[in-house]
């Protein structure tokens, strides 16, 4: 993988021989990462398409041009992961978005839950969503992920549970500290046994904020067909729980 990666907010035409970078990507490539003409650069559009390029020239501080050497489309990861994350306080959600992007999450849904300490009005919520999308782009550059997760606007838990794309997932798992939660290994084994060993193609996770989901919220999720899952005998921070949950399924589906 080349040392330099840039994100293309607009997908170039299939026969593009040259790509003009927008000002923000030019700044990051040339001024932050100190790329120079002749350096190899991989451009990606966040939808699986990549262009192997060479930085051909820089005009001023806001315009860089890439000479396209080849283009390819990479296949998606074998299991689509959706993360519904109860909003944590401070900047913890930024870290969750970065780590979920590194683990190949397809969608990330920040949720306003009963114990979420972070309360956002419409304007602040929009700004936060934009910030999380930038965090996902930076993580994708760092880890070589050609797919960007869809970062959804903050919404209530009920709206997430009613989302048709979420409801269509083969497994819907809620991380739970409450009695009756099953080990993840057992849940995955039951799925394989019921589907003749077939690997999962889609999983939705629901993770609470600090202090976890309330018993009432867990009950609503269970009534909607979600499976309560324990993440082990120790009480994890919500950001650790999100990473653990996504990584455990990713490891199982790629074994």
Q: List, for residues 132-155, the tens digit of each pLDDT value.
A: 999 999 999 999 999 999 999 999
**Of 67-81, 121-135, 158-172, which gets the smallest average pLDDT?**
121-135
Architecture per CATH, 4-73:
Beta Barrel (2.40)
Where exactly are the structural domains of the chain?
Answer: 4-73, 80-253
Confidence of residue 120 (pLDDT cuts 50, 70, 90): low
40-61 pLDDT, tens digit each: 999 999 999 999 999 999 987 7
Backbone angles phi, psi at 33, to 5 degrees: -90, -10
Q: Which CATH class is domain 80-253?
A: alpha beta
The pLDDT of residue 2 is 57
Each residue of 224-246: b (16+ CB within 10 Å) or e?
bebbbbbbeeeebebbebbbbbb
Do the beta carbons of residue 65 and residue 34 sit within 8 Å? no
153-195 pLDDT, tens digit each: 999 999 999 999 999 999 999 999 888 899 999 999 999 999 9
Tell me the residue ranges of DSSP E strands in the chain: 4-7, 18-21, 40-44, 49-59, 63-73, 80-86, 107-112, 150-151, 155-156, 171-175, 182-183, 202-207, 227-230
Q: What is the rounded distance in angstroms from the CA atom of residue 177 to the CA atom of residue 213?
A: 9
Q: What is the rounded distance in angstroms from the CA atom of residue 204 to the CA atom of residue 53?
A: 36
CA 120-228-247 angle, to 5 degrees, is: 75
State yes or no: pLDDT of 255 exceeds 90: no
* DSSP code string of 160-212: HHT-HHHHTSSEEEEE--STTPEEHHHHHHHHHHHTTTPPPSEEEEEE--TT-
Tokens 């035409």, residue located: 13
Tokens 């992961």, residue located: 81
């Amino acid at each position: 993988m080349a040392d330099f990666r840039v994100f293309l907010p607009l997908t170039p035409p299939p026969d593009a021989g040259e790509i003009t970078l927008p000002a923000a990507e030019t700044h990051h490539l040339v001024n932050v990462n100190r790329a120079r003409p002749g350096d190899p650069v991989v451009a990606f559009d966040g939808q699986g398409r990549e262009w192997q390029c060479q930085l051909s020239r820089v005009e001023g501080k806001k315009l860089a041009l890439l000479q396209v050497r080849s283009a390819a489309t990479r296949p998606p990861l074998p299991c689509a992961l959706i993360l519904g994350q109860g909003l944590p306080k401070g900047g913890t959600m930024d870290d969750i978005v970065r780590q979920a992007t590194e683990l190949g999450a397809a969608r990330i849904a920040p949720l306003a839950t009963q114990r979420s300490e972070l309360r956002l009005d419409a304007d602040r919520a929009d700004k936060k969503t934009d910030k999380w999308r930038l965090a996902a782009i930076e993580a994708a550059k760092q880890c070589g992920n050609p797919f960007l997760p869809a970062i959804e606007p903050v919404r209530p838990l009920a709206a997430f549970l009613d989302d048709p794309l979420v409801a269509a997932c083969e497994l819907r798992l809620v991380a739970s500290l409450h009695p009756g939660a099953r080990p993840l290994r057992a849940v995955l084994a039951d799925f394989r046994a019921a589907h003749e060993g077939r690997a999962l193609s889609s999983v939705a996770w629901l993770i609470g904020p600090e202090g976890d989901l309330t018993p009432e919220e867990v009950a609503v999720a269970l009534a909607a067909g979600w499976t309560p899952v324990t993440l082990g005998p120790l009480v994890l921070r919500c950001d650790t729980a999100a990473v653990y949950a996504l990584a455990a399924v990713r490891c199982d589906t790629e074994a």
